[in-house]
Amino acid sequence: MILEEGKSFEKEELVQELMELVFEKAEKESKKKPIHGLAKYLSIKLMENFQFSIDINTFTRYYKGYILNEGGKQSPTDDILNTLCKYLGHKDFKDFETKIECEIVKKSLRKEISDQEEKYRKMVSICLVVGVLLLGTLSFFISKYYKKNCMIWVDDHYEKIRCSGLENERKLDEMVLLKMKEIKRPLQCEREMWYDKTDNEVTFFTYRGEHPVNGKELKPVTEHICEKYILEPRDSILSNTNLDTIR
């Protein structure tokens, strides 16, 4: 029997608890389960340890009444109750009653603590789940709205920017970002050069693809383009420089 928390403890309930504990201890010590064996063991044990005589038939009636619920429950005398309590390690029945009440209070406190811990664990679990969801949402928001996923042409090169719909804004291409540069006033032709000619103005670049401003497809520099727009202007500049020096 488990005494319920908050319930007034009648003597009958305490006796029931006492009997259950006595026979439980006797069964563990004697390794016996038949009624007669337990009754005989207890009768001998109480006589040896406490010089108190309780016959086998009395213990048999206690077992049938309090453990098996067969027939009526014979109420033990105060002396028997005190001796049985001593067998369990208590001073007397009053001491047993006090400790049982304390044990129930302890059980109640342990249960309350356990319930609070369970609530705390659930709250922590919920907070962790919510935190992960919020972190995921925040990461998505940052990735979508604040990460520099676009690039724009600035003077002679591309720079990373946050996508915002600016004119000449392009989706980020790491290779183009790294390699695309405008070559201003080239003095020689490189193996890999591209150009664009718009309104009779020729511009040169270090990487293929689209013109950063007008969007036209860049063309590879040919020998003709190299000669006409790179070498000849260069030679002309050098020649003029030499004439100025002579003068």
| Residues 6 or more apart in contact with residue 206 via CB below 8 angstroms | 179, 180, 181, 182, 183, 190, 192, 193, 194
Q: Are 217 and 194 in contact (CB under 8 A)?
A: no
CA distance 59 to 38: 8
Q: What are 203's strand-pairing partners?
A: 196
Nearest to 213 by CA among 178, 183, 182, 246: 182
Q: What is the mean pLDDT of residues 213-238?
A: 89
Q: What pLDDT, on the 0 to 100 scale, is given for residue 144?
A: 63
Q: Judge whether residue 225 has pLDDT over 80.
A: yes
* Helices vs. strands in the chain: H and E counts, helices first: 8, 7
Residue bearing the bigger pLDDT, 233 or 92: 92
Half-sphere exposure of 8 (CA within 13 A, CB side): 1
Q: Judge whether residue 37 has pLDDT over 50.
A: yes
Q: Judge whether residue 5 has pLDDT over 60.
A: no
Q: What is the mean pLDDT of residues 201-213?
A: 93
Nearest to 230 by CA among 179, 198, 176, 194: 194
Q: What is the mean pLDDT of residues 35-48?
A: 93
Q: Which two tokens stand for residue 124?
A: 């922590």
Q: What is the pLDDT of residues 65-118, one digit of tens each?
A: 999 998 888 899 999 999 999 999 999 999 998 888 777 677 667 778 888 888
Q: Residue 145: pLDDT band by 50, 70, 90 thresholds?
A: low
Q: Residue 191: pLDDT band by 50, 70, 90 thresholds?
A: confident
